[in-house]
Structure 1
């Protein structure tokens, strides 16, 4: 997976950097970006703050520790299995029967009771069910090796965005040489064998076949940190201190990649050669 040196301005040559590849999967994930108390949203893929938080927990960093070393890593996210959205309905109340406090706090850090008194509050929390993402982090090899050791023996509990979302194993897929884009393009599809088989049968039915159709490649959406990206995500953490949480934006580029499925005997060299567009929005549904 090694590429020649790049002439892109402001980029370090690939020889000086490696790529750590993580597999983030679990029954539930939630990557909030703009959630309020009563609505905890989730983005359709891991955020930079969520991945940074996972790595900081693995390293055992305190809440107020500097995050510059982690946020400087260039990140790419590939949605191998996007999952489905789940809305979790909550009713909040105080078991003592006292009025709920207000959401805001005073300069002294105290909360007043609601006025008029409110004894129940409805909240909604959103999760991704059965999703699987490949997260690639480009940076200095010594830092990446330190992160691998930390994730395999974490100091604090690791979670996929929220504490109620533990990850499945394995998390670390390894450290690769080369550039972020090439690693995400060459790494085989990480969907389970059952999901691959289901996908092949559904694709076969769409083609009018009596059995499965096993393509050599499959399209996956990818989001990459990119200085010239068209989109801006406000999810780079400056601090996880609960009294001084702050975030800044990052530019990203979103695209689709054809990645190898990993079928031992594919029925077609590539889907593009079979006359299909690389981006079929319905191909990801029901995976």
Structure 2
């Protein structure tokens, strides 16, 4: 199989899978529907276009830099034209919107080579602007990482750590263990069901189906790790009690 990898980084991201009305939540990792929406925008697809060509892709994400959860309060007013020609304003309900700040994720899509190469090309030169879950969340830096002959799990375990240099230096150890979320077979043990398959993005009939996911970890190299930082010789103030 072939994989296409995407680096999802920005000041704010929001990957909602159960947002309703005035409470717009975010998951701690990019959703499949959100990433496929980004790919569809890059390919110039309209919201009413069928998505069958993308739904067969396997999806996985690695949390390279989890970031911090933040909440934003938003208010809005609706104008109303009165009979005397004047305009009055009515306040809409307070909206609670959640974002992940300063996060970096590695998203990987597995499929046939022609489709993977087409996605990579589209993301490098998108037809529509790309955003990380919401229109107010543009990506920081290039999104495309590249195409390679690999499977989903292999790519998540072998691609370089995408966190910022400061984060990598702060970690110090030569390797780092990162959380992953991957598509799984519905009968695979330990699977978790989430409603995250975009059947339609059409605003008039938006629809999502269920998919099964598994959570795991991978260990990757830290290019800024210190050789002796992972020897286990950290200061232990209680060690004297065992002597």
Gaps of 5+ in 1: 1-16, 99-117, 201-214, 277-287
Q: Cα 1:244–1:52, aligned 2, differ >3 Å: closer, same or farther?
A: same
Partner of 1:231: 192
Give yes or no for contact 1:84–1:128 (8 Å, CA) kept in 2: yes
Shift of the alpha carbon at 1:179? 1.5
Matched, 1:260 2:221: yes
Q: Structure 2: how far apart are the matches of 1:120 and 1:186?
A: 48
1:64 to 23, 43, 48: 48
Structure with greater strand percent: 2
Matched, 1:148 2:132: no
Partner of 2:179: 221
1:148-187 pair list within 5 angstroms: 148-187=120-159
Q: Structure 1: how far apart are the matches of 2:227 and 2:141?
A: 27
Give yes or no for contact 1:97–1:119 (8 Å, CA) kept in 2: no
Q: Cα 1:176–1:274, aligned 2, differ >3 Å: closer, same or farther?
A: farther
Matched, 1:248 2:209: yes
Q: Structure 1: how far apart are the matches of 2:91 and 2:146?
A: 50
Q: Structure 2: how far apart are the matches of 1:125 and 1:266?
A: 42
Q: Cα 1:180–1:266, aligned 2, differ >3 Å: closer, same or farther?
A: farther
Partner of 2:22: 38
Partner of 2:240: none
Deviations 1:201-255 (A, max 9, x none): xxxxxxxxxxxxxx22101110010101520110100011111111001101101
Q: Cα 1:274–1:133, aligned 2, differ >3 Å: closer, same or farther?
A: same
Q: Structure 2: how far apart are the matches of 1:222 and 1:239?
A: 26
Give yes or no for contact 1:47–1:235 (8 Å, CA) kept in 2: yes
Q: Structure 2: how far apart are the matches of 1:192 and 1:266?
A: 19
Secondary structure in 2 matching 1:121: coil
Shift of the alpha carbon at 1:265? 5.5
Gaps of 5+ in 2: 83-89, 235-243
Matched, 1:127 2:99: yes
Matched, 1:24 2:8: yes
Shift of the alpha carbon at 1:274? 4.4
Greater mean deviation of Cα atoms: 254-263 or 148-157: 254-263
Secondary structure in 2 matching 1:94: strand
Deviating beyond 6 angstroms after TM superposition, the runs of 4 or more aligned structure 1 residues are none
Give yes or no for contact 2:171–2:225 (8 Å, CA) kept in 1: no
Partner of 1:83: 67
Give yes or no for contact 2:22–2:94 (8 Å, CA) kept in 1: yes
TM-score, normalised by the number of residues in structure 2: 0.87
Aligned residues: 225
Give yes or no for contact 1:93–1:121 (8 Å, CA) kept in 2: no
Partner of 2:87: none
Shift of the alpha carbon at 1:120? 3.6
